[in-house]
Amino acid sequence: MTEAPAGSLDAADRPVGVFDSGLGGLTVARAIFRRMPREALLYFGDTARVPYGSKSPDAVRHFSREAVHYLYSQGVKAVVVACNTATAHALHVLRAEAPVPVVGVVAAGARAAAAATRSRRVGIIGTAGTIDSGAYDLALRHLVGGEAVKVYAQPCPLFVPLVEEGLGDHPAAALIAAEYLQPLKEMAVDVLVLGCTHYPILAPLIAEVMGPEVILVDSAEEAAAELESVLAAHGLQSWRVESPTHRFTVSDLPIRFGSIGSRFFGDSMGRVEQVHVEGCLSEGPALW
């Protein structure tokens, strides 16, 4: 095994903070866990204020700043904003204030879509807030080149509550998915970006509706890959030998979060803690 760089263990063995408006960011946490099994995770889900997709940009920025400042106060070495709406509206603010590297999900997903498309007809599904921001459209046009790419965006507001309520297998989910995705099928997109970290939970259903010729881009997997690169670039990869300890925190209903979240993260979630993030902005980040 390669030796750890001298003097790097203390900072490198701090946890990675993962933030989402609810439990959808667990898809990102799971992707990080699988890709980098040595990394400890501190997850925060803002379950008291979910969903962010229907909130104003100003509200999303305020909630996001409180959430990541809480993570800073816990001594994380990097933050993954595992929420497309928060990434679209708040990433620039979060990075400007950050004492640590901050990774979002939009740019990573856009890069994967740009690389995968053959027809340059790309579909995006997300919350109303993410779609209205135009973040994916802007990122794809920058990557592919202006009008060379056609981006078709479709808000899917009911997908988040379906996942949050554990109803992904309910017959109603199939009807809703067919209704939402029909316009994208008519546009003959060859790549579909799952522009919300809740949506990978519904990926089998979405794939069935769209058909085998359409490539699904999972922004959770792409964000995990970007995090790995960022940690390496900053010399922050963990060199621990023992299994890491993960913490899962929420702003409301920890028992319910643990019950639903364990369905796709597994039994390794353990106990879920309830924390309060209001006031973290006035206290300021804990810089080690």
Closest C-alpha to 80, from 197, 192, 238, 250: 197
What residue has token string 């963990």? 238
Given the residues 196, 206, 209, 210, the one annotated as active site: 196
| Dist. CA 135–CA 88, nearest whole Å | 6
Closest C-alpha to 134, from 113, 112, 106, 95: 106
What residue has token string 């994967």? 112
Tokens of 126: 């997300």
Tokens of 81: 């904003």
| Dist. CA 141–CA 207, nearest whole Å | 25
Is 280 one of the catalytic residues? no
Given the residues 83, 106, 209, 210, the one annotated as active site: 83
Closest C-alpha to 227, from 51, 89, 38, 5: 38
Residues classed as catalytic: 83, 196
